[in-house]
Amino acid sequence: MCGILGGTKKTWNYKKALNSIVHRGPDGKRINCFDDFTMGFVRLSIIDLSDNGMQPMEDTSHSVALTFNGEIYGFEPLRNDLMEKGYSFRSTTDSEVILNSYLEWGDRFVEHIDGMYAIAILDRREKKLKLFRDIAGIKPLYYYYNGRDFAYASELKAITSLINDTSLQIDNTAILDFYNFLCIPAPKTIYKDVFKLEQACELVYDYERGAVESNASFWSLKPNAEEGNEIIYDKLGTVKELVSESIGEQLVADVPVGGFLSGGMDSSIITVEALAKTDSYQTFSIGFYDHRNNELPYVRCLEEKYGFNGNKYFVKKNEFRDLYNNLKEWYDEPFADTSAYPTFIVSREAKKKCKVMLSGEGGDELFAGYPRHLRLKDFESGRKTTVDEDLEFIYQWYVFRPLPEHKKLKKRLGISDDYDMFWFLRKHYHKDLPPITRMQYMEFYTYLSDDILPKTDRVSMANSLEVRVPFLSKKLIEYAFSLSQNERCPNGILKYVLKNAYNSELPHNLINRRKEGFTIPESFFGMGVMPQERIEELFLGTKIIEK
């Protein structure tokens, strides 16, 4: 896990920009100037701690340079394949595997890798800069393009620091989107001319012509469109094998590895699998002095069953108050997922003992873990609904202001009445899929990639901690969505597949417990106030709509 950046203009302050993301990589820093393009890198050493793993990394002929943030899983066999084809390696890093994969397969190297990544490849033969982002959007990648100049970076703050361009304009539609979705969804950022590269996308910038040549998806999720029948036993076994394989691959590191343990099913599954593979695995859990939010009793259930004693930390109200304003620093643009706070705190505690953590993100999206996955099915039951009716129904789960207030917002922000407030959901909404699959598919491309994953990336990286997400291996994603709706969620049983696959490994009270979000007690924000309203004031200075 690291920080990357690059750009076209020699007059930009690359050193200052790199310093703004040094938290992503405190173990090393480098800037290289190549012809008409500069690349910078801050390193968090995880695999091959020597200087051989430093970036920007070049091939022996200096025709291709790479900066890469993330990890490639199970890269050793690929490395061996490339060695058999005649490629030599100076390091044992996955970065060099990507470099040589690109030399071998060109842009299609992405078909040969699995992992979490934001990759920038400067191909000096073609005079092109190519950006790649992983299929789930685990690692962030921002870019600036004003029709001529180009820059990319791991965080928005690095872009704004790099270009230091006061003519950057706020995109008011992005502010409206924030109210709609509690985040600014890709490809938008708060600024015009600055964008997020969407998940599973490749962007090609021709730095000789000064033009973005293409920005297209290299992979798409192909969900099973059948309602189908209840899952058969063999498939549960396959899921378990894939989960175990993914965790095994993601435990690979030259530094201590641990895991977040919330007391929920996903993190418990990861813990059980990891403990079976390594004695050195440590868990980190958060508690609150409030029974309504404290999940430590569930953590203790697992500890008692498996005979281990994880690290536990209670979050205090005054501690939260000290961190409150940091949300702006972490996200650089409006972002209202309050679980960022406990995630920051557990990351901070974990970093005292580990450098890499495993986390359970993705389990709910892949295996239908949210109660709202069922609501659409109920909504459609017995009638034909339009896409607009569906989206208006779904929308209520993401917003904290009622729909009529958005008309006032549009007016205040100078946005035309016909602006589609549902654009982000509509883009990934496929009415031809059965309702539960449809919700899962949509959330894989929306809620997961633009809320859950950025939330974890920024606050873990703020602590220079790498977080890996075993449920989001390519094989597991594709397998989960290859199941029919009723195989994944028969008779409306949420997380049916994981519950049954791990029925003998997990305590039953943990399997059957109610789904809880990971968030700060509302009392921390003050009585009678929704946390998101406070965050609105934090980012925007005021409530745009006064009550």
Partner 1 sequence: MVDEKQLHAYYENYNAALQFLVAKQNGRKMEDYLKALGYNSVAVYGMNDLGNCVVRELKDSKTVRLLYALDQGSPKLYFDIDCYKLDEVPPNKKPDIVIVTLPYLYDEIHKDIERTLGRPTISITQLVYDMDV
Closest CB to partner 1 among 145 and 320? Answer: 320
* Angstrom distance (rounded) from CA 148 to CA 195: 15
Q: Is 280 helix (H, G, I), strand (E, B) or coil?
A: coil
The distance of closest approach from Cβ of residue 527 to partner 1 in the complex, given in angstroms and rounded to an integer, is 7
The distance of closest approach from Cβ of residue 301 to partner 1 in the complex, given in angstroms and rounded to an integer, is 12
Neighbours of 383 (CB within 10 A): 7
Closest CB to partner 1 among 474 and 513? Answer: 513
The distance of closest approach from Cβ of residue 516 to partner 1 in the complex, given in angstroms and rounded to an integer, is 17
The distance of closest approach from Cβ of residue 534 to partner 1 in the complex, given in angstroms and rounded to an integer, is 18
Closest CB to partner 1 among 125 and 291? Answer: 291
Q: Alpha carbon of 474 to those of 87, 244, 367, 428: distances in Å?
A: 26, 14, 14, 19
The distance of closest approach from Cβ of residue 283 to partner 1 in the complex, given in angstroms and rounded to an integer, is 13
Can you give the binding site for partner 1, defined by CB under 8 A? 287, 289-291, 294, 296-297, 312, 314, 316-318, 523, 527-528
Closest CB to partner 1 among 232 and 527? Answer: 527
- Residue 41 DSSP one-character state: E
* Angstrom distance (rounded) from CA 24 to CA 253: 17
Neighbours of 220 (CB within 10 A): 9
For strands 194-196 and 128-133, give the pairing.
unpaired
* Alpha-helical runs (H) found in 223-339: 233-250, 265-277, 296-306, 317-323, 326-331
The distance of closest approach from Cβ of residue 518 to partner 1 in the complex, given in angstroms and rounded to an integer, is 18
Closest CB to partner 1 among 236 and 296? Answer: 296
Q: Token digits for 493?
A: 């049983």
The distance of closest approach from Cβ of residue 511 to partner 1 in the complex, given in angstroms and rounded to an integer, is 22
The distance of closest approach from Cβ of residue 287 to partner 1 in the complex, given in angstroms and rounded to an integer, is 7
Hunting for tokens 């709509």 — which residue is that?
545
- Contact of 194 with 143, CB cutoff 8 Å: yes
Closest CB to partner 1 among 64 and 350? Answer: 350
Closest CB to partner 1 among 97 and 299? Answer: 299
Ranges of beta strands (E only) in 108-180 are: 115-123, 128-133, 142-145, 150-153
- Residue 190 DSSP one-character state: S
Q: Token digits for 170?
A: 């706020």
- Residue 293 DSSP one-character state: T
Q: Is 312 helix (H, G, I), strand (E, B) or coil?
A: strand
Closest CB to partner 1 among 25 and 310? Answer: 310
